Structure formats: C-alpha cells, structure tokens
Amino acid sequence: MADFDRIYDVAVVGGGNAALCAAIMAKQNGCSVIVIEHAPKAFRGGNSRHTRNLRAMHEGPTSVLTDSYLEDEYWDDLLRVTGGNTDEKLARMTIRASSRVMPWMQDCGVRFQPSLTGTLNLSRTNAFFLGGGKALVNAYYDTAERLGIDIVYDSEVLSMDLDDGFAKSIAITSKGFPHTVRAKTYVVSSGGFQGNIEWLREYWGEAADNFLIRGTPYAKGRMLKNLLGQGVQQIGDPTQFHAVAIDARAPQFDGGIVTRLDCIPFSIVVDRNARRFYDEGEDVWPKRYAIWGRLVAQQEGQIAWSIIDAKSATLFMPSVFPAIRANSIRELAGLIGLDADALEKTVSDYNAAVQPGNFNPQILDDCRTEGLEPAKTHWARRIDTPPYICYPHRPGITFTYLGVKVDEKARVIMSDGKPTANLFASGEIMAGSILGKGYLAGFGMTIGTVFGRIAGEEAAKHARN
C-alpha cells in the first residue's frame, strides 16, 4: 500500500516498460519504491502495452532469435534511420546492453516466442513477447507487486520541486486527491506528449485535431513540460513525431497495431482533390512504413485514400475496418466523397503511364510508370479489375521526439551541462538522445529496458549513499 507520508528511496513517475524496469531494478537493489501511474489499472503500461518486440544484439542464434545481429550492423541500421541524429556513445552502449537484458526480463516473468507471421520479417533482429506488450507489462507489474513495490494508479504527477538540480518532491493528484510524494531519488519515465492534442496544436495548428494517436491517451507530457520549464536540457525537435498512415476510421486514441494498413505499395494514394502526391512504390514497405504519416499530415485536411483493385486485395495483412468497395471508380469516388471526374482522370492517367513489367510483391520489381508526376517506381500495375477497393488514411502518431537529455548513467542533465543530483530518466522521455529521428522497429523497447535498468540501479546507488 502506498504511503504518502513516507520518504521513499526511489519514486518512479510513469508506469510503462521503462518505469517498471527502473522500479524493479531499484527494488532488487534494496530500495523502497513507489510507482506513480497516470492510467487506471486496465490501461496501465503506457505505449508499452501496444508494443510487440525488442531489438536485441546477439552473437549467435538463441531460442527466439535467428542467426546473429552484431553491434556494427545494429549501429549502421540506427545511423541510417536517424540520419546521424543520434549520440554514438549512448547508442552503442544501449546496443551492447541489449544483448544482456533478455535473461533478466525472463526472470521478471516476460516470455518470448519465435516470430511467426505478419511481422515485417524481424525474426533475426527482434525478440517477440509472447502475447505482446500488454503481456510483458502484466508480467512486470506482477513482479513489482510480488517484490513489494507500491503502485498507485489513476495518479498524475503535476510538477516536480526541482531546486538547483536537486529534486525535492513531486506534487501529484491521486484518484482526485492532491498529495505530495517525497523520495531520495526520482526516475521519470512518463513518455512523450503525443497524447496532448493541445500541445501538438502549438506546432501543427488545427491539423493536430485530425491526428490520430496510436497509443495511450495518458502520454500528456506534463512531467516533460514541467522539467523543461525548470532548466532541464532539452533534446529532440519539439515539432517532430513518428507517424504512420493508419486507417482514418481508427479511434482517436489507443487504436494500436490493428489500425495499420500495409496496402500503400500496391495502391495509388490520392488527396482530397483526388490527386496523387508521392511515389507509393519508392521502396519496400518496411522502409517506407514510417514516412506516410508525415506525408498524409501534410495534405489538406490530413486525409488521403489508397486505391487498389481486386488483383491486389489480398497482398497485405488483413485490416481491421472493412475495405470500401465499388464496381467503378466513379462509384468509389461517390462513396468516399471525392470528385468523380478528378478521380477517374487520376486513375486513367496513371493506368496510361503504367509500363509492362514482371510484378513481384516481395522485391523491388520493374513495374513502374513512365511520364507521370509523381512517378510510381515499383509495383505499378493498372487499376482496372473491379471491385475497386479503397482505404482512408490519417496520420497515426506513435511518439514524439522531444525529451530531456541524459548521460550514460541515465542522469538528467541541466541546460548548463551539469547533471542533476538525484533525478534520472528512462524510456520515451529521454529516447530523443539516441533516436533523434526516424524509427527502428523494437528500438523503443530496447531503450526503455536498457535505460530503465540503468536508471533503477543508479537511483538505488544514490539513494543508499
């Protein structure tokens, strides 16, 4: 039972993977620990509940990972997706540590499975959680409870009393009542601010109202904003987020993995004016999955439609909402509210530009358009076989990049470059230090697990001194 009159050794802000790794680690190092989770119990775990795997370096095949995935290849992958917007020292440390976390995770009850289907072919690089991220979160909470960690749900941290780099207390509201939590050390693992539409509106204006948030609505960024306002060093571009083009019919929050749509490489994608705006066949889907969120966000009304025909209907993972079907392009335009003449012209212009080729969905094939702007450079086939099929897209935001800067001991750094005395961070709130741009599947969980463990251990060391 949580005791708000007590001085804990470690107070952990947040209740996702990174928070729990820190809490468990601190407890295992002999500390008294309180975890303060904003969500109610049913929705605990932040974005971790929507995750599925963790990217792990390994030198040879393991029970769940095939072949090997060594530090340099991992680093190259990270360098490629971030375009250099990373910190090599922290990144390499994270990568090396990722090879050692799995046994500890298993000790905490996390179970892995060999990857099967629908997973963008990640069985070499990524270890899959049996049952997914919520099963992992359940296992960590179970372990935390068994170890005697105090957990409070429905409790939002409002502010931290940070005095000259020393964290004194935090003000929270727990089930509607204000409290002050005091601890010797603090770990903030409260994620990004993608669940805070108002904050997104500061950068994106009214467009933010059309964004869908793929994960937890509890990522309000309150702690993040509070710390940055008290002279903590900022990292990452506040205007930027990771987004994919999800089904526009998804709920505003928490739609998770099932709202994804993998049909774009086989489609033409049109905007509100029924015009194409980008090369749908630029590269294999896993490499282009993440650019389409931004692309759709930049269109009028933040909406787009992908259109395919019967030939391509089963080339991608089934999607959760039914496809919109029609027997003619004109009828389809009517169903989705686009100008029928304009859509017919876009499709016929595209069809006329399609060159003969050997269609192969598995590789960068030679099916392309000629003389079309923008071109479709692979998997371009004529859209001529009814029923015609359409899926609407909106930007689905996964996480924001803005965060606090940390050092290799997970210590939060102040603007003047000095580390704070007793404040640590792990997870999405500091991930921008390593992943300043782009995304590498399963890397968020790697950062959360590695830094959660470090933050917990370092906080424990500090608290016991």
Partner 1 sequence: MLATEATLEAQRAIAICNACRYCEGYCAVFPAMELQRDFTVTDMSYLANLCHNCNGCYHACQFSPPHAFGINLPKTFAEIRLESYAEYAWPKPFADAYRKNGVLVSAITAGSIALVLFLTMLIQSGSVMFGPQTGPGAFYRIIPWGVMSSVAGATLIFSILALAMGARNFWVDTQTSLSGPINWAAIERAAHDVATLRYLGGAGEGCNDADASFSLARRHFHHALMYGFLLCFASTSVATLMDHFLGWEAPYSWYSLPVVLGTLGGIGMVAGCGGLVWVKMTTDPVPVARRMLGADYALLGLLAMAAASGLLLLMLRGTGAMGVLLCLHLGFILAFFVTMPYGKFVHGIYRGAALLKAAVERQKNTIVAG
Q: Does 340 bind partner 1 (CB under 8 A)?
A: no
Computed from CA positions of residues 261, 263, 264, 268, in that sequence, does the dihedral angle turn out positive or negative? negative
Q: Does 131 bind partner 1 (CB under 8 A)?
A: yes
Q: Given the complex with partner 1, which of 1 and 116 has the nearer CB atom?
A: 116
Query: Which residue's CB is nearer to partner 1, number 141 or number 186?
Result: 141
Residue 128 or 424 having the CB closest to partner 1: 128
Interacting span for partner 1 (CB under 8 A) from 77-85, 123-131, 156-164, 168-176: 123-131
Tokens of 318: 């089934």
Sketch the per residue contact string, 291 through 330, with partner 1: x for CB under 8 A, - otherwise. -----------------------x-xxxxx-x--------
Number of H helices, E strands in the chain: 13, 19
Interaction between residue 132 and partner 1 (CB under 8 A): yes
* Whole-angstrom distance, CA of residue 218 vs CA of residue 136: 19
Q: What share of the chain is helix, strand, coil (3-state, %, to 5)?
A: 35, 25, 45
**Site membership for partner 1, residue 118 (CB under 8 A):** yes
Piece in contact with partner 1 (CB under 8 A), picked from 128-136, 173-181, 274-282, 337-345: 128-136
Cβ 449 to partner 1, closest distance in Å?
A: 18
Q: Closest separation between CB of residue 113 and partner 1, Å?
A: 4
CB-based contacts of 71: which residues, under 8 Å, 6+ apart? 57, 92, 95, 96
Which structure tokens are listed for 172?
Answer: 């929270």
- Report the candidate in 429, 446, 444 with the shortest Cα–Cα distance to residue 193: 429
* Burial tier of 333 (Cβ tally within 10 Å: 0-12, 13-18, 19+): buried
Where helices occur in 173-305 by DSSP H, the ranges are 197-204, 222-228, 285-288, 292-297
Residues 44-103 contacting partner 1, CB under 8 A: 49-50, 52
When binding is defined by CB under 8 A, the residue of 14, 16, 133, 442 that contacts partner 1 is 133
Element (H, E) at 68: none
Nearer to partner 1 by Cβ, of 87 and 254: the residue is 254
Query: Residue from 8, 69, 74, 141 that binds partner 1 (CB under 8 A)?
Result: 141
| Residue among 50 and 276 whose Cβ is closer to partner 1 | 50
Element (H, E) at 315: none
User: Interacting stretch for partner 1, rule CB under 8 A, among 72-80, 105-113, 404-412, 420-428?
Assistant: 105-113
Closer by beta carbon to partner 1, 151 or else 410: 151
- Our finding on whether 138 is near partner 1 (CB under 8 A) is yes
Q: Give the CA count within 13 Å in the CB-facing half-sphere of 356.
A: 0
Taking CB under 8 A as the rule, does residue 142 contact partner 1? yes
Nearer to partner 1, 52 or 368 (CB): 52
Residue closer to partner 1 by CB (options 122, 342) is: 122
CB of 317 to partner 1, least distance (A): 4
Residue 318 or residue 417: which is nearer to partner 1 going by CB?
318
DSSP 151-201: EE-SEEEEEEEEETTEEEEEEEEETTEEEEEEEEEEEE----STT-HHHHH
> What is the SS3 assignment for 359?
coil
Residue 116, interface with partner 1 (CB under 8 A)?
A: yes
Per CB under 8 A, 42 contacts partner 1: yes
Identity of the residue, 113 or 377, whose beta carbon is nearer to partner 1 in the bound complex: 113
The dihedral region occupied by 53, where left means phi > 0, alpha psi between -120 and 50, and beta the remainder, is beta
CA distance 169 to 13: 12
Query: ∠ CA 112-436-90 to the nearest 5 degrees?
Result: 65
From the list 43-51, 174-182, 269-277, 416-424, the region that binds partner 1 by CB under 8 A is 43-51
Helices (H), 32-165: 71-82, 88-98, 101-107, 133-147
Residues 242-271 that bind partner 1 (CB under 8 A): 251, 254, 256-258, 260, 262
Cα 288–Cα 296–Cα 206 angle in degrees, nearest 5: 145
Q: Does 372 bind partner 1 (CB under 8 A)?
A: no
- In three-state secondary structure terms, 47 is helix
Q: Binding partner 1 by CB under 8 A: which of 1, 5, 117, 205?
A: 117
Tokens of 166: 């020393």
Residue of the chain from 99, 113, 234, 351 that contacts partner 1 (CB under 8 A): 113
For partner 1, the binding residues (CB under 8 A) are 42-43, 49-50, 52, 109, 111, 113-114, 116-118, 128, 130-135, 138, 141-142, 251, 254, 256-258, 260, 262, 314, 316-320, 322
